[in-house]
C-alpha cells in the first residue's frame, strides 16, 4: 500500500555556509520532515538574479550554437548562448546582451519560452529559456577568455546533434526540443504549447 505524498514542506531547523568561492556557495540545511525524520542536505545556492539561455534563430529553420570551454569536462562543448542576469536587467535585456556578447547578434524579437532547473535536489538554479528572432549583427565585449566559435544548425536535425560527442548539455537539449515543438505548433496554427 502506497502512502500519500507529504502535505507540507520540511521544517528548516538550521542552515549554515559550508564553503564559498567567487562562483559557488555551498549551504548545509538541517531539515525535519513531516514524519519526524531529520536529515542534512547540502546544496549549491544560486544567484537570485537568475540566468538566461537563448535560442537564437537567424532564419525560421536554423539555430545558433556556440562552442566554449567547459571546465567541468575539461573540454570544448557545443551549447546555446547563456549567462547570468545582471543587477537591474530583466530577462529580455539580459538575453539580448548575452546574444550580442557570445554570438555577435542582437534580436528585435525576444520571447520567453520556459523556465528550466538543473539538479533541483542539489542546486537552487533556474534558467529562463528565450526565443530570439529577427536577428541583426551587433557585437558587445563579453567576459569570455577567448572568442567563441558560433555554428548554425538546423532545428529539425536535433537527433543528429545528439549523436555528437560535444553536444550533451541537458538544458540545451531540452530547450531546443521545446523550441522546435513550439514552432511546429505555431506553423500548424495550433495554440502555443503551455510549458
Judge whether 109 and 134 are in contact, CB under 8 Å.
yes
Model confidence pLDDT, tens digit, residues 133-169:
999 999 999 888 898 999 999 999 999 999 999 999 9
Q: Between β-strands 38-45 and 123-124, what pairing exists: parallel, antiparallel or unpaired?
A: parallel
Model-level pTM? 0.86
- What does the alpha-carbon distance between residue 188 and residue 2 come to, in Å, rounded to a whole number? 43
- What does the alpha-carbon distance between residue 28 and residue 13 come to, in Å, rounded to a whole number? 11
The neighbouring-strand residues paired with 79 are: 66
pLDDT of residue 117: 87
pLDDT of residue 193: 59
HSE, side-chain direction, 13 A CA sphere, residue 62: 9
From first to last of its 195 residues, what are the pLDDT tens digits of the chain? 566 666 788 899 999 999 998 777 889 989 899 899 999 988 887 666 789 999 999 999 999 999 999 988 899 999 999 999 999 999 999 999 999 999 999 999 999 999 998 888 888 788 999 999 999 999 999 888 898 999 999 999 999 999 999 999 999 999 999 999 999 999 988 876 555
Amino acid at each position: 500500500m502506497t502512502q500519500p505524498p507529504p502535505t507540507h514542506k520540511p521544517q528548516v531547523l538550521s542552515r549554515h555556509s559550508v564553503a564559498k568561492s567567487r562562483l559557488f556557495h555551498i549551504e548545509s540545511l538541517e531539515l525535519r520532515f513531516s514524519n519526524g525524520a531529520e536529515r542534512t542536505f547540502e546544496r549549491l545556492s544560486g544567484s537570485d538574479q537568475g540566468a538566461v539561455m537563448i535560442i537564437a534563430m537567424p532564419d525560421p529553420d536554423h539555430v545558433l550554437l556556440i562552442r566554449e570551454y567547459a571546465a567541468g569536462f575539461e573540454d570544448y562543448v557545443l551549447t546555446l548562448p547563456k549567462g547570468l542576469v545582471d543587477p537591474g536587467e530583466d530577462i529580455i535585456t539580459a538575453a539580448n546582451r548575452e546574444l550580442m556578447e557570445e554570438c555577435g547578434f542582437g534580436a528585435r524579437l525576444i520571447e520567453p519560452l520556459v523556465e528550466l532547473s538543473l539538479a533541483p535536489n542539489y542546486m537552487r538554479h533556474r534558467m529562463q529559456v528565450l526565443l530570439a528572432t529577427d536577428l541583426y549583427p551587433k557585437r558587445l565585449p563579453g567576459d569570455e577568455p577567448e572568442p567563441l566559435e558560433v555554428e548554425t544548425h538546423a532545428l529539425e536535425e536535433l537527433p543528429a546533434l545528439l549523436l555528437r560527442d560535444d553536444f550533451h548539455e541537458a538544458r540545451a537539449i531540452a530547450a531546443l526540443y521545446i523550441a522546435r515543438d513550439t514552432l511546429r505548433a505555431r506553423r500548424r496554427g495550433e495554440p502555443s504549447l503551455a510549458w
